Structure 1
Amino acid sequence: MTDIDVAPAVPAGPPKAPSRTRRRAWTVTVLLVVFMMINFADKSVLGLAAEEIRQDLGLSASAFGLASSAFFLLFSVSGAAVGLLADRVRPKWLLLIMAVLWSVSQAPLAVGGGLAVLIASRVLLGAAEGPAYPVAQQTTLSWFPNHRRNLPGALIVLGITLGVLVAAPVLTWLITHHGWRSAVAAVALAGVVWTLLWIPFGGEGPYAAMSDSGSPAEAASDDRMDTSRGTGAETAREAQAQMPYRRILATRTWIGVTTGYFSTYWVIAFALVWLPSYLQDGLGYSSATSTQLLMLFWGLSGILVLAQAALTGWMLRRGIASRRARGWVGGGLLLTSGVSCLALPAAPAGAVTVVLLIAAFGLAGAMGSIAATAIMELAPAHRRGGALGFMNAVVTTAGLIAPTLIGSLVDTHGPGGYQYAVLITGGLLLVGGTAAVTLIDPARDARLLSG
């Protein structure tokens, strides 16, 4: 039996949600895209102002790497804890509290302080931002059935790219003309503005309490909102609500998406903290050229995320199993990114280096949306927050390890340390891509969980 045999196609004319519901769904999605933009603008400040901060505070590369990694000290723990909480508390209020804490945590650093204030600010900010991605995905995808989730899920990931694309020129200008603390103040203010918009317009969607069977057809039938289920269905829902998280975390799909997404997050941490310095100190590009390359990298990464969403959605609507539509597509991109990383240190300077850089740091990003939609397809409705939170907790340990390790390599080997960092990154991407291709199969594992 082939994958196509076990994945029924979507009916020709599934009922459409009311237009008011659709407008609300996309309003919430846009707000959460902006939420992720601010989230990654917060993260990117240190990378964009790396040289200025190191000179101002007199930090070595290792000390700066440690300060950057401090952001992730509580990031993973809070991601798991709030993920569990999101199965019991309305995500709307969790997102609101997060955004408020982002601004509060950065206010002291915007005013003054040295290394101690920098580390304390980043630890608190990391604790507040740790749950942001899984809760934002959970909230956004609660407005859409399974076969319609690829685009909104990809847009949340696109918020990462847009955050850096918007932040890079604006924050760089602020850093150059008004100092790096003004950039910290700007992103703190952005969090306040977003909070004021989220209070009246934010919320969860009609699919928040509905489990997917793993097939687009059954997900589409949820549009009917038929609550007249039999006693057997009610018993099944009760069993799903009591399902231990360990059963979900032991599935091949959860392990596969978590491994693949870990390698993606390693790339993100590398790019946010050390890629600007790598381009200038490791590859010899000027500051202006480095900024242009960063914009190109993040821009193409965003385009690729949308292209992946379109391809995956098209495959699912044609009845192709999510093992291929999600696992093979995401894994293939990670493998290509890994090969590009391994080839980068030996590449001749010029166009070849630029192409490999774009492939190495740009292709892996699509795995973020694939991981979220695969977990939403796999997990019962009342266990999605925890499943996403635990995944994010494991994945984001890459952000704790990567900046410190790369900083240590640079201190030990000078600019040559970046080459070792790129090779390590390539190896991790190959492992992540292999896990995604061989392990991800949400439909199969959802059936096993429901059995």
Structure 2
Amino acid sequence: MTPMIETESPTLTATAPAAAHSRASGRRWAVVAALFLFMAINFADKAVLGLVAVPVMHDMQLTPAQFGLVGSAFFLLFSVSGIATGLVADRCNPKWLLAGLALVWAVAQLPLGWPTTFAVLLFCRILLGAGEGPASPLALHVVYTWFDDRERNLPTTIVQQGAMGGVIVSGPLLTFLAERWNWHAPFVLLGFASLAWLVLWLCVGGSGRRHARFGERGAQAAVAAPAGRPVRFRECFADRTIIGVMLQCFVGYAVISIGFTWTPAYLRLVLGFPATQAGWLFALQVAAQIPIGLALAVLSHRLLARGVRSRFARGATISATCVVSGLAYCLLHLGVPPLAKVALMALASSLAIQTFSFGPMLVAEVAPAERRGALLAITNSIVTLAGLLGPFAMGKLISSKYGVGGYELGFAVTGTLLLAAGLAGFVLLDPQRSARHLGRAAA
């Protein structure tokens, strides 16, 4: 019997770590899949108001300015809750933070399943915004606890594409529900979807071993040397790369918030498409973001694998993307056919939203590990203040002397801002330099 024991023991010893590694690898991709669904619900929640804009305004007798106020109200506590959550993200278990957010979403959506007042509609959108403010940075923070810097392009893109998947499905589906029954039905569906995700997350959710409290120093170890003091927040926010990321993401989020609030109405009231076609066209516009996002992620990953500096592989890539997006929005003023305008909007929005894939990766690349969760949440909260301004400003333009021309004027303004942010990014985004700078600050 002894020889058998001696020959089997090394096998057991060798296979045990491999089995553990396989389980950990499977677990982290299960977490990525769950967070994909999380972001899908998150962005379906954002899109629903725009998809039912026309019946809501008609049923509740709202002016464009009032409806724009409802759209902007979503962002009233969006940034505040994001900052508050960011300050505790590195000290609390993110599993329970994400679970709490999903519960808030359900509570905010379900009351709109029945006839309501303007005040209740406004309150529910404010509450929903408070629950969704920390969602994206917290989801990415969890992803980054499972993957190191060189592995993050693909999982980051997958989680961010969940947002696109949510809008693609919700566009035709929620429009159908509103047409089949009434505009309240989509809110009921989304409320129960949040509850279903909550149950799923409690079963599979969790953070990985690359969390700061387990001693991870991050991809840029020099940023927080063991013997140095912690890097102060003001030093991080004075860094050129973080400034560049925030500038691009601020304009990118203006595009997102305006698009979700006003694009379906633009397709119907300006371009003349019926409700069902407008829902599908909106979904197709968003669908274009998936291949574009994946292509840019693969391009950046391959450049990094070939030894290209992140300043070019990530910084220059997203800056060029902003420039092209801005040009496409400005071209909407040309007298082109409606379908050409739909294509230009699809290209512009698909490129602009990539700021929220590349931006967090650049922040995570330069951030000290012990500050990463907070920086991701706080920078996201600051840039999403654009959502508080964008929909309301567009509503004021539409209500003004410009009338329906206010739609394209608003798009042209955001296009000009995207051009400026893209050009600035070529100068500001330099993560290697930022890592050295913050490393000296910690010394």
TM over 0.5: yes
Distance 1:351 1:118, change over 3 A: closer
Alignment of 1:50-449 (within 5 A): 50-209=53-212, 210-214=216-220, 236-237=225-226, 239=228, 242-350=230-338, 352-412=340-400, 413-449=402-438
Deviations 1:171-220 (A, max 9, x none): 11111112111110110100100111111211111222223344xxx8xx
Code of the aligned partner of 1:266 = A
Distance in 2 (alpha carbons) for counterparts of 1:447 and 1:156: 29
Q: CA deviation at 1:350?
A: 5.0
Give CA deviations for 1:45-93 in whole Å, capped at 9, x if unaligned: 1100001111111100000110111110000111111111102111111
Q: Partner letter of residue 208 of structure 1?
A: H
The answer to whether the Cα contact below 8 Å between 1:213 and 1:447 also exists between their aligned partners in 2 is no
Cα separation, 2, equivalents of 1:79 and 1:356 = 32
Looking at structure 2, the residues matched to 383 and 266 of structure 1 have their Cα atoms a distance apart, in angstroms, of: 26
d(CA) in 2 for partners of 1:243, 1:110: 47
Q: For residue 360 of structure 1, report the CA deviation from its aligned partner.
A: 1.8
What percent of counterpart residues are identical? 40
Note if contact 1:347-1:353 (Cα within 8 Å) is conserved in structure 2: no
Give, in whole Å, the separation in 1 of the partners of 2:404 and 2:194.
36
Partners of 1:359 and 1:194 in 2: how far apart? 31
Per-residue deviation at 1:168? Answer: 1.0
* Structure 1 length-normalised TM: 0.89
**Separation in structure 1 between the aligned mates of residue 151 and residue 178 of structure 2, nearest angstrom:** 41
Give aligned pairs, total.
419
- Report deviation, 1:121: 0.4
Tell me the SS of whatever aligns to 1:285: coil
AA aligned to 1:348 is V
Pairwise CA distance, 1:287: 2.9
Q: Please say if residues 102 and 188 of structure 1, whose CA atoms lie closer than 8 Å, have aligned partners that are also in contact.
A: yes
Q: Which runs of 5+ in 1 are unaligned?
A: 1-14, 219-232
Aligned to 1:29: 32
Q: Distance in 2 between matches of 1:211 and 1:374?
A: 16
Post-superposition offset of 1:112: 3.4
- Quote how far apart the aligned CAs of 1:263 are: 1.4
Distance 2:257 2:372 in 1: 25
> 1:401 Cα shift?
0.5
Cα displacement (A) at 1:352: 3.7
Query: Partner letter of residue 39 of structure 1?
Result: N
Q: Could you tell me how far 1:415 is from its partner in structure 2? A: 0.7
Describe the SS at the equivalent of 1:24: helix
Task: Note the C-alpha offset of 1:396.
Answer: 0.6
CA deviation after TM superposition for structure 1 residue 116, in Å: 0.3
Report the Cα distance in structure 2 between the residues aligned to 1:45 and 1:354, rounded to whole angstroms. 20
Task: Give TM-score scaled by structure 2 length.
Answer: 0.91
- Aligned equivalents of 1:91, 1:316: Cα separation in 2: 29
Shift of 1:358: 2.1
Q: Whole-Å Cα distance in 2 between the matches of residues 239 and 98 of structure 1?
A: 35
The residue identity in structure 1 corresponding to 2:129 is: G
Q: Give the SS at the match of 2:206.
A: coil
Q: Distance in 1 between matches of 2:184 and 2:373?
A: 35
Q: Given residue 353 of structure 1, which amino acid in structure 2 is its aligned partner?
A: K
Return the letter of the residue paired with 2:408: Q
3-state secondary structure, aligned to 1:414: coil
Task: Tell me how far 1:238 sits from its aligned partner.
Answer: 6.3
- Classify 1:238/1:29 alpha carbon distance in 2 versus 1 (closer, same or farther; 3 Å): farther
State how far apart, in whole Å, the 1-side matches of 2:420 and 2:140 are.
Answer: 25
TM-superposed CA distance for 1:18, in Å, is: 1.5
Alignment of 1:34-53 (within 5 A): 34-53=37-56
In 1, the alpha carbon distance for the partners of 2:165 and 2:57 equals 26
- Secondary structure at the aligned position of 1:180 is classed as coil
Distance in 1 separating the partners of 2:357 and 2:121:
31
Could you tell me which runs of 5 or more consecutive residues in structure 2 were left unpaired when the two chains were aligned: 1-16
CA distance in 2, matches of 1:427, 1:57: 34
> 2:226 aligns to what SS in structure 1?
helix
Q: Give the whole-Å Cα distance in 2 for the aligned partners of 1:236 and 1:403.
A: 44
**How far apart in 1 are the matches of 2:136 and 2:316?**
23
Which is further off, 341-350 or 315-324?
Answer: 341-350
Deviation at 1:291, TM superposition (A): 2.6
Answer yes or no: is the 8 Å Cα contact 2:82–2:378 preserved in 1: yes
